[in-house]
Amino acid sequence: MPVTPLSPSTPARVRQRLSGAIAAMVSAAVPPFLVAVLAVQIDRDIGFSTVQLGGGVAAYFFVSALGSPWAGRLVATYGAARPLRIATLACTVGLLAVAAAPAGWAVVAALALLGIANAAAQPAATHVITGIELPRTRATAFGLVQSSIPATTLLAGVVLAAFQDQSWRLAVVLVAALTLAAQLPLRWVKDPEAPPVAAQVEPPTRRGGIEQDRARGFVALMAATGFFVSLASTCLPSFLVVTGLLYGLSPSLVAGVQVAGSLTSILVRVVAASTGASMSGAGNVAGVVLLASAGALGFGLISTGSAAAFVAGSLLAYGCGWGWSGLFNLSVTRAVPHTAAASTGVTQGGIFLGGSIGPLAFAGVVHGSGTQLAWGLAAVSACVASACALAARHRWTRPVVVHHRLGEEPT
C-alpha cells in the first residue's frame, strides 16, 4: 500500500496516529529489557542464568530479524493498522506467558515468540510516520517513535527500583496490563486510501531520494550499519545492570543510571531526528556516523571497570551509541521514500540480527574472558558501524556518471 500524506491541516489526527504507533512500539520493545532488569530475581525464583538471559534476548531479536523483511513487504501491501493491533495484543499474551513461566527455558521460549510481534511493529510504525507530509513534523515523529525503545528501558529501570524486593511475576503482569491499554490509542491508526497514480510513480529523486540503481547498495550498507551498531547497543540495556552490580554499584544507583541513560537516549533521538529535517539526506547519514563513533567511546569507558567511568560511559553510550535510530530511519526513508516500509524492513532486519547475536556473543565473552573485554569488543563493533555508515553516505553523494551517445544532450 503506497503511503498517502496526511493533511497538514489535521495536526490532531497526526498526534493521534503517532500516539498509536508509539504505544505499539513500546509494547513490542519492552519484553527483553524487562526480563533483563528482572534477571536476578527470576534466577533466584526459577533459575535463569546469564547464558539463558543472553539466549532469550538473542532469540527475541533473531526471530525479529527473520520476520522483519517479510513484515515490511506485508505492511507496504496491506497497510499498518491491523499489524500494529495484532502485534500489541501478541505482546500482552507473550508477557503473561513470561509471568507464568515455570523455569528459565520457558522465559526464553516466550521471548522468542515475542520477536514476531516486534518484527511487525517496526515497519508498521514507519509506514504511519511516512504518511506525515510536513518534513520537520515527520522527522520529529521518527525521533519520538524510536524514543519508545529507550522508554521501555526507562520503564524497566522503574520496575527494577520498585520491585527489587517484591515479586517479579507481579511486575511482568503489570507491564502486560499496560500493553493491553495500548490498544486504546491504536484505534486512531487507520490505513489511508491509495494516492493518485502520478504520485505512485514519481521518481525518488524528486523528493531528494537516491537514484534507483544505487538504492539497493545503499540499503544493504545501512543494514550492515544497523547490524554492527545493534551488535553493541543491544548489550547495553541487556547487561548494564549486571555489569554495574559486578563493579560494586548499589542496585539503586544502577537503576538511576539506567533511568538517566534512557532519558538521555530519548532526548538525543528526538533532537537528532528533528534537526535532521533541516539537513540533506546524506547529512543525516553523516549524523549517524558521528553518533556511532561517540557511542564507541562510551562503550570503551564502560570497559575500564571504573565506577565513575561506568556512569559517564553509560550516559554516552545510551545517548549516542543507542540514540542513532531516529536519525537512521529518517535517512533510509529519505533515500527511498516510495519503498520506505519495505526498505526499513530490510534495515531493521540488520538491526535485529545484530541484536540477536550481540547478547549471545556478549554472554559468551563474559563467560570466557570477562565483562571488560566484552564491552571493549562492543566499542569495536560500534566503530565498524560508523565505517559502514560512512560508506553508505559516499554511495549517496558520489557524482553520477551519465553516458550518452554522440550528438545527444546529457540527461
Q: Which residue from 376, 303, 367, 362 is spatially nearest to 54, judged by alpha carbons? A: 362
308 vs 101: CA distance, rounded Å: 37
All cell numbers assigned to 57: 534476548
Residue 403 lies in a domain: no
Torsion sign (Cα): 172, 126, 351, 235: negative
Is 43 exposed, middle or buried (CB count within 10 Å of its CB: 0-12, 13-18, 19+)?
middle
Domain membership of residue 185 (yes or no) is: yes
Domain membership flag for residue 5: no
Structural domains of the chain, count: 1
Instruction: Determine the Cα angle at 66 with ends 65 and 72, to 5°.
Output: 80
Query: Do 18 and 129 touch, CB atoms closer than 8 A?
Result: yes
Phi, psi of 391 (to 5 degrees): -65, -40
The count of other CB atoms within 10 Å of the CB of residue 205 is 12
Could you tell me if residue 295 is inside a domain? yes
19 inside domain: yes
Q: How confident is the chain (411 residues) per 10-residue block, as mean pLDDT?
A: 48 74 84 85 88 84 86 79 87 94 93 90 80 75 78 72 75 89 76 44 49 80 93 83 86 84 88 83 88 94 91 92 86 80 82 85 86 94 94 78 46 44
User: Do 136 and 277 form a contact (C-beta atoms < 8 A)?
Assistant: yes
Range of the domain at 222: 11-397
Q: Determine, yes or no, domain membership for 34.
A: yes
pLDDT of residue 82: 83
User: Can you state the angle between helices 235-246 and 39-46, rounded to 10 degrees?
Assistant: 70
How far apart CA 334 and CA 336 sit, in angstroms, is 6
Is 406 domain-assigned? no
Q: What is the CATH number of the domain that holds 128?
A: 1.20.1250.20
Q: In this structure, is residue 27 part of a structural domain? A: yes
Phi, psi of 276, deg, nearest 5: -60, -20
